[in-house]
Chains A and B, each alone.
Chain A
Amino acid sequence: MNANAQNDNPWLHRFIVLTAAATFLLLGSGGMVTSHEAGMSVPDWPNTYGYNMFLFPVSKWMGGIFYEHTHRLLASGIGFLTTMLAVWLWFKDARKGMRWLGVLAFVLVALQGVLGGLRVTLHMDKLGIVHGALAQLFFVLICALALFTSRWWQNQGRAGSPQPAVGAHGVTRPTDKSLRTLVLAATILIFGQLILGATMRHQHAGLAIPDFPLAYGKIWPDTGAFAVARYNADRIEVISENPITLFQIILQMAHRIVALAIFIGVAACAQQAWRRLGRKDPLTRLAVFWLALIVAQIILGAWTIWSNKAADVATAHVLVGALSLVTGALWFVAAFHRLEPLPRIEPAGTIPGAFGAHPALAANK
C-alpha cells in the first residue's frame, strides 16, 4: 500500500470506525446466540417463522428467538454498512490495495450471511464453528481498514509529518524481524485458540470440566470410560444437555494449555518491545495493553467456568478474545509501517548509543 498517497478522507475513516464498532456488537450478539443455545430457535431463513425478516412482529421476539432474530437484523445492518464501505473505498481511495480490501470485506460479509443461514437450514452445527471463526477474521479486516484510513497511517513516511514518539534512548527504533515474528506467532496462536473455543462452544454440552484451575479435582483429569460415565451421571445441566465425551474433556484441557502458551508469548512480546523499543514507544504501550487483554481473558475464562457458563460472562470471553486477536494483528501490521529512525543529534562528547552506529547516522556523518 502506498502510504504516501494523498488519501485524507476523515469521513471515510470515521465510517469504517463506526462499522468496526458495529461489527464488535455483532460479535457479541452472535456470542449471545450460542451462549443461550438459540442458534436453531428460528428454523427458517431468510424468513423468520414465515414472516419477512424485517416484518417479524416484535411481540414474538421471545426467548431464543430474540437473540437469533436480533443477530440476523444486526448482521443485515453490517452487510449494508460494509457494502457502503466497499463502494466508498472503490471510488474514493486512490490506493489500489485498499479498493480490493473493500471488495474482500464485502465478499466476507456476504459469505458470513450465507454461512449463518445454511447453518440453520442444513442443520449443520459445524458450519457454526466456521461462521464464528470467519467473524473474527472479518472483524480484523475492518479494524485494519480503519487503521489504513487513519491519519496516523497516512502520516507515516510523509515528508514533514509530525514526529513520532521517541523511545527510551531518544530515537524511535524500527521493529526488528524477530519481534515481529514473535507477535505474529502469538497472534496466530490466539486465532487457533479462538477456533478451539468455538469448537468447544458448539458441542452444546455445557462445561466439559466444571472446575478451575483443577480439572475434576486433579491437574489432569481422569479420562477413563468409567470416569466419563460418572461425570455424566453426576452433572445436571439445564440448557446444554448433550453428554460429555472424552473428546470434549481433551478439548478443554488443550484450550487451557494454549491459554497459558498465549500468556507466555504475549508477555514475551511486551517484554521484548519494552526492552527494544523503550517504554514510551506506542508499540510498546500497545503490547502492554495486549498483555492486559490476555490477563483479562484468562480471568474471564475462569469466571466462565466458575459461573457455570453464564451467558454474559461466556460472551464477554468471546469478545475479549476478538480484541486480543485484533490487537496482535494490528500491532504486526503497524510495525511494518513504522518510520525509519530519525537522525540523532549527538551532543558534543557523549558516548554513542547502545545500538552503535545506525545506517542513517552513518549517512549523516
Chain B
Amino acid sequence: MKDLKVSPVLLLIAMLAVATAARAADIIGTITLKGTPPAEGDLSSYMKDYADCTAMYGDKLPTTHFFVVGPKGEFADVVVSLKGMSGKSTGASAPPAVLDQKGCIYTPQIFAVQTGQKLAVKNSDHCIHNVHCTPAVAGNDEHNDAQMSGGADLTYTFAKPEMFIKFECNVHPWMRAWVCVFDHPYFSVSDKDGKFVIKNVPPGKYTVEAGHRKLGSQTQDVEVKDSDTTVNFTFEVK
C-alpha cells in the first residue's frame, strides 16, 4: 500500500467544513395577522379618576393593546420559541429582564425570560402599585408585593417553564402584563414590525412554535444549517 499523503489544502478545506457545520445560526421571521381583531378596550373610564396615572397622556388616554398590529398586518407580541427544548437554561447568568410601571401601564406587556433569570420590576410612577403575579405551574410561586413610588425594584425568578404568567396591579385593575418562562434561551417576542430573531441556534431540526396570548399557537418544522433560517407565521382572526 502506498503511503497516504493528505494535501494540506484538502485538510484545510475539511477543517473549514467542520467548523462551518458547527456554527450556530439564527432563526428569523415575520409574524402577520389576517382579519380584523376586536376593538381594543377603552381605559379612560377606569383611569380618568387617577391624576397620577393620566398626567403623561394628556387628553388621549390609552386603550388595551391585546392585538398590536401594523398597517400591513405586522403582528407584535407573539412569543416564538423552539418546542421541546428543556434543561438548557442559562437564566442564572443572563442579565435581568426589566418590567416597568409607567403611566400605570406595564411595559413591556408581553415578554419572556428563562428559568432562574432575574426579573426586576420597577415603579416609575408617582403612586403606589402592588405587583401581583399568579403562576399556575407548581414550583412557580405567587407573589403580591407593595411597591411605593420610587421604591426599590422588586425581583422575582421563576423555577419552571410556563406560558403567559399574569402580572397585575389590583390598585389599578386595568394594569396587566404577561411573561413566558422557558427552560432554554431559544425564544423571541415579535416586535412592532412583526419581526423576531431566535439567536445562536445550533444546527439541527427543530419545531418552531409561535404563540399569541389570545389566538393560541401554531408550529412549523425547520432545519437550521450554517446560515440564518427564515420561518414566517400568519395568524388569522375569524
Contact = CB atoms under 8 A, between A and B. Distances in A.
Interaction A to B: yes
Interface of A: 36-44, 49-50, 60, 62-65, 68, 120, 123, 229-230, 232-239, 241-242
B170 A234 contact: no
Interface string B183-226: 00000000000000000000000000000001110000000000
Nearest to A232: B214
Q: Please report whether the interface of chain A is mostly helix, strand, loop or mixed according to DSSP.
A: loop
A65 B128 contact: yes
A242 B52 CA distance: 27
Contacts of B166: 241-242
Contacts of A41: 130, 169-171
B173 A235 contact: no
A165 to B, nearest CB: 50
A238 B146 contact: no
Contacts of A229: 216
B173 A62 contact: no
A63 B50 contact: yes
B70 interface: no
B148 A49 contact: yes
Give 10 nearest A-B pairs by CB, closest first: A41-B170, A239-B173, A63-B171, A238-B41, A37-B173, A123-B142, A236-B41, A43-B144, A64-B170, A40-B170
Contacts of A64: 130, 169-173
Contact of A236 (B66, B148, B173, B215): B66
B43 A40 contact: no
Given A62-B50, A239-B174, A242-B166, 19 more contacts: A38-B173, A40-B130, A41-B171, A43-B146, A44-B146, A49-B146, A60-B128, A63-B173, A64-B169, A65-B128, A120-B144, A123-B134, A123-B144, A234-B38, A236-B64, A238-B41, A238-B42, A238-B173, A239-B173
Interface of B: 38-43, 46, 50, 52, 64, 66, 127-128, 130, 132, 134, 142, 144-146, 148, 166, 168-174, 176, 214-216, 237-238
Nearest to A68: B170
Contacts, number: 80
Interface class of chain B by DSSP: loop
Contacts of B148: 49
A201 to B, nearest CB: 14
Contact of B170 (A38, A49, A60): A38
Nearest to A63: B171
Contacts of B169: 41, 64
A60 to B, nearest CB: 6
Contacts of A230: 238
15 contacts: A37-B170, A37-B173, A38-B171, A43-B130, A49-B148, A50-B146, A62-B128, A63-B50, A64-B172, A233-B237, A237-B41, A238-B43, A238-B64, A241-B166, A242-B166
Nearest to A125: B134
Contacts of B132: 40, 43
B177 to A, nearest CB: 11
Nearest to B42: A238
A149 B177 CA distance: 54
Contacts of A36: 173
A41 B132 CA distance: 9
A123 B135 CA distance: 11
A338 B148 CA distance: 59
A238 B127 CA distance: 20
A195 to B, nearest CB: 23
A176 B214 CA distance: 57
Contact of A233 (B40, B144, B168, B215): B215
Interface centre among B66, B146, B171 (most CB of A within 10 A): B171
A65 B145 CA distance: 13
B44 to A, nearest CB: 10
A62 B171 contact: yes
A237 to B, nearest CB: 7
Contacts of A242: 166
Contacts of A238: 41-43, 46, 64, 173-174
A236 B46 contact: no
A236 B213 CA distance: 12
Nearest to A238: B41
A42 B127 contact: no
A304 B64 CA distance: 22
A40 B134 CA distance: 11
A37 B238 CA distance: 31
A233 B214 contact: yes
A315 to B, nearest CB: 15
A238 B104 CA distance: 14
B238 A42 contact: no
Given A38-B170, A40-B130, A64-B172, A235 B50 contact: no
B179 to A, nearest CB: 14
Nearest to B172: A63
Nearest to A237: B41
B128 A49 contact: yes
A327 to B, nearest CB: 33
Contacts of B172: 63-64
A354 B95 CA distance: 89
Nearest to B170: A41
A232 B213 CA distance: 10
Nearest to A38: B170
A65 to B, nearest CB: 5
Contacts of A123: 134, 142, 144
